[in-house]
Each structure stands twice: as structure tokens, then as C-alpha cells.
Amino acid sequence: MTLAATVAARCRLTGTFVLRSGRTATEYFDKYQFEADPVLLDAIGAGLAPLVPPGTEVLAGLEMGGIAVVVALARHAGLPCAFVRKAAKPYGTNRLAEGTDLTGRRVLLVEDVVTSGGQIAISAAELRNAGAVIEHAVCVIDRQEGGTEALAAEGITLHALLTRQQLDAA
């Protein structure tokens, strides 16, 4: 069974779902099904590694689903990683990103599933304001619902391991 077929069989749900973007969908990709399986998550990390653009210095996983993915990817890419919150924590270090420092470094944002690209765009803007250089993002699944185009308008190229079209074909 191909990686696309395995992910589709394990993660695709049908019904009525409200997405992070606020849109309603009749199918949902339950990323926690591949993130909770160490063997499948490792295969995803290996598959994502060739998508890391040359010159990348740090991998930054977005809360929450991108955290497991960034660790799996870092293992295969051999790059340090950071963990990006949706908002800076109001206590302790007050940081938006934990782990490796991003200031002045070429950072690849890592997400699990992309629909509109909204969270990547928000996080990229905040990290750029803090001094990170962000031109690329990678995801496990691109639902192909406008995220690639929206991110391009923000100067970010999205690289997807799997697209909705590939999952449909699997």
C-alpha cells in the first residue's frame, strides 16, 4: 500500500465538519491518526525530508499538529527545530517560538493539513516580525482549497507531501 493510500485509509472521515478556517466540509483528514502512529509518522517524516528547500536552517512546527510532524521531519532532515505557539505564552519566557532561535535564520514552517493557509500566514507574519526569514512551508496534506495561492500572495511557497487529488486517487 502506498503512503497516500495508507494516509487516506487511516485519516479520511466523512460527515459534516467545521474547519479552522470556519468553512464547513463534508470530509475531514484526522491528522492525529497519522501523528499518533509512530511507524506511519516516521514514514511521513522520511517523505517530507526531500521537500526541505536547500538553505533551510531551522524547521518550525506550528501548534499543535505541526509539532509531531516537525520532530519526525527533523529526525530525517538532520535540522534543528522550533515549536511555534498560536500566541506567545503570557508567563515564563513569554515566547512565541520555543526551541532553536529563529532570529536571522532561514526557517521552514511545518504544518499537518493546509486548507486556507491561514495559520501559516499568521505565524509567518509574527515570526518575520521577530526576525525569522520565511519563504517556504511544508505540509503533510494540502486539501487544495486555496491555501497554496493564499500563501504565495504572502511570499510563501507551499510544498505538500500529499494533495487531496493524490489521496482521492489512492
Please report, in range form, the residues annotated as the binding site for 5-phospho-alpha-D-ribose 1-diphosphate.
Answer: 20, 85-86, 89, 111-119
Backbone angles phi, psi at 40, to 5 degrees: -65, -40
3-class SS shares of the chain: helix, strand, coil, % to 5: 40, 30, 30
Instruction: List residues forming the annotated binding site for orotate.
Output: 115, 143
- Give Dmax (Cα) for the chain: 47
Nearest Cα residue to 109 out of 164, 55, 61, 162: 61
85's grid cell: 505557539
State the residue for C-alpha cell 526551541. Answer: 99
Angle formed by the axes of helices 38-48 and 65-77, nearest 10°:
60
Instruction: List residues forming the annotated binding site.
Output: 20, 85-86, 89, 111-119, 143
| Cβ atoms 81, 71 nearer than 8 A | yes
